[in-house]
């Protein structure tokens, strides 16, 4: 299924029978300073991140979050450095793959409805654990 990357769209695609997805949106969002997190998207260019030396998304295992701070990514975007676009894209692609992996596992374990409710509830209406939505 082409052109879907938001969590609710991916769940809808799965429910319609799709099992393969391709979309430029995670990289487009990344190139514009947006990162996906458990509690939605946030923008790296916001001034509150200028001196935040924590991982961009707490509890994320992607290369970007394991090796760079949100302050550094903020700096890269403000300086219009291409590395910032690349690192944000790496994170967003990882987020999307982990979402689909979680969907697959929830189907195998028989708790897809609960998984969907938890993921979408957190992403679209949950409360952030940190200023940048962990």
Sequential DSSP letters for 25-72 = HHHHHHHTTEEEETTEEEETTSGGGTT--S-SSTT--SHHHHH--HHH
Residue 15 lies in a domain: yes
Please indicate, yes or no, if residue 2 is contained in any of the structural domains. Answer: no
Is 134 within the bounds of a domain? no
Query: How many folded domains does the chain comprise?
Result: 1
What is the spatial distance between Cα 32 and Cα 117, in angstroms, rounded to a whole number? Answer: 28
Measured in Å, how far apart are the chain's first and last C-alpha atoms?
A: 28
> Does 1 reside within a domain?
no
> Is 80 part of a structural domain of the chain?
yes
Domain that holds residue 109: 7-125
One digit per residue, the tens of pLDDT, for the chain of length 134 reads 888 778 999 999 999 998 888 889 899 999 999 999 999 999 999 999 999 999 999 999 999 999 999 999 999 999 999 999 999 999 999 999 999 999 999 999 999 999 999 999 999 986 554 444 44
DSSP state, 2?
A: B
Helix (H) or strand (E) holding 110: none
Q: Is residue 94 part of a domain?
A: yes
The Cα–Cα gap between 24 and 57 comes to 21
How confident is the model over 102-118, as pLDDT tens digits? 999 999 999 999 999 99
Q: Decide if 104 is inside a domain.
A: yes
Q: Is residue 105 part of a domain?
A: yes
């Amino acid at each position: 299924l082409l052109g879907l990357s938001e969590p609710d769209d991916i769940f809808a695609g799965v429910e319609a029978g799709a099992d393969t997805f391709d979309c430029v949106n995670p990289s487009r969002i990344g190139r514009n300073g947006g990162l996906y997190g458990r509690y939605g998207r946030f923008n790296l260019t916001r001034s509150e991140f200028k001196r935040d030396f924590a991982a961009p998304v707490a509890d994320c295992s992607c290369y970007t979050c394991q090796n760079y701070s949100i302050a550094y990514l903020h700096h890269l975007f403000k300086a219009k450095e291409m590395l910032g676009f690349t690192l944000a894209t790496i994170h967003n692609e990882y987020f999307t793959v982990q979402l689909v992996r979680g969907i697959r596992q929830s189907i195998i374990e028989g708790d897809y409805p609960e998984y969907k409710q938890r993921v979408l509830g957190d992403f679209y209406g949950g409360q952030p654990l940190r200023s940048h939505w962990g």
